[in-house]
């Protein structure tokens, strides 16, 4: 486990913690030495000023991929985001090969993360899988989550499948989302990513207050697509 701060809970008995800043390329390479697979979840997790996103998400990912290249790591799993395609309409079941339509600067940074993964797969032969993670929550708590929810159980399933996919997988992008009846995104092809999600946000619909209807012509991102969501992160 690698983090920039000391974790509040001890690692598993077979785990080791390295306190590393992803911006430090030398430290990242040193911490990853000896690994054969990497799950990269580090970075700024939401909308922020673009310089912060570029430094943490894009440069940090570059350091991880470069460390993998230099140390011979077999597989890198990158945390991408559904926000890469947030401006596709809600009525459109979106697949991972369709054009990126990021809903904000955070989504732009994740487009760049995926592009780095593709580059390192094509140019240097790394095996890279990008998971476009849905709304990772214990349970859905707002109407949009009825489409976008990723349950903890399904998140673990997708991650295990990505880490253990055949070494012949050179590059793959897949949506990591539970099998929600109202979902916006295609589930992965089982021949490419061997996991079938089991949880459905619809089971929690009665617990969610307010109007649950979604405008089919509106953006999948919902409020994340509003101008103010990005403009409030402008630097003076």
Residue in 106, 120, 158, 175 annotated catalytic = 106
- Reading the chain (236 residues) residue by residue, the pLDDT tens digits are 666 665 556 566 667 877 899 999 999 999 999 999 999 999 999 999 999 999 999 999 999 999 999 999 999 999 999 999 999 999 999 999 999 999 999 999 999 999 999 999 999 999 999 999 999 999 999 999 999 999 999 999 999 999 999 999 999 999 999 999 999 999 999 999 999 999 999 999 999 999 999 999 999 999 999 999 999 998 76
CATH number listed for the domain at residues 2-231: 3.40.50.720
User: CA angle, corner 33, sides to 31 and 38, nearest 5?
Assistant: 80
Which contiguous run of DSSP H or E holds residue 60? helix 60-71
**Would you call 224 a catalytic residue per the annotation?**
no
Residues 6+ away with beta carbon under 8 Å from 164: none
Instruction: Name the residue ranges covered by the structural domains of the chain.
Output: 2-231
Residue 99, C-beta contacts closer than 8 angstroms, at least 6 positions apart? none
Buried b (16+ CB within 10 A) or exposed e, 73-90: bebbbbbbbbbbbbbbeb
Contact 184, 117 (CB under 8 A): no
- For the entire predicted model, the pTM comes to 0.94
Which residue, 108, 131, 89, 101, is CA-closest to 44? 108
């Amino acid at each position: 486990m690698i983090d920039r701060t000391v974790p509040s809970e001890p690692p598993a008995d077979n785990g080791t913690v390295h306190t590393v800043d992803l911006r430090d390329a030398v430290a990242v390479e040193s911490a990853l030495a000896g690994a054969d697979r990497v799950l990269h979840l580090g970075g700024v997790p939401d909308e922020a000023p673009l310089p912060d996103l570029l430094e943490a998400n894009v440069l940090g990912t570059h350091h991880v991929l470069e460390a993998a290249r230099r140390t011979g790591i077999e597989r890198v799993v990158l945390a991408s985001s559904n926000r890469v395609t947030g401006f596709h309409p809600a009525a459109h079941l979106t697949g991972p090969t369709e054009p990126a339509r990021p809903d904000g600067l955070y989504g732009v940074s994740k487009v760049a993360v995926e592009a780095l993964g593709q580059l390192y797969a094509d140019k240097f032969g790394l095996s890279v899988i990008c998971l476009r993670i849905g709304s990772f929550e214990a349970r859905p708590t707002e109407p949009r989550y009825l489409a976008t929810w990723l349950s903890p159980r399904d998140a673990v399933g997708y991650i295990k499948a990505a880490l253990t996919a055949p070494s012949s997988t050179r590059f793959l992008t897949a949506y990591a989302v539970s099998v929600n009846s109202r979902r916006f995104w295609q589930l992965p092809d089982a021949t490419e990513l061997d996991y079938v999600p089991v949880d459905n946000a619809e089971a929690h619909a009665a617990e969610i207050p307010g109007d649950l209807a979604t405008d089919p012509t509106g953006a999948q991102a919902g409020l994340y697509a509003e101008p103010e969501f990005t403009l409030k992160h402008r630097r003076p």
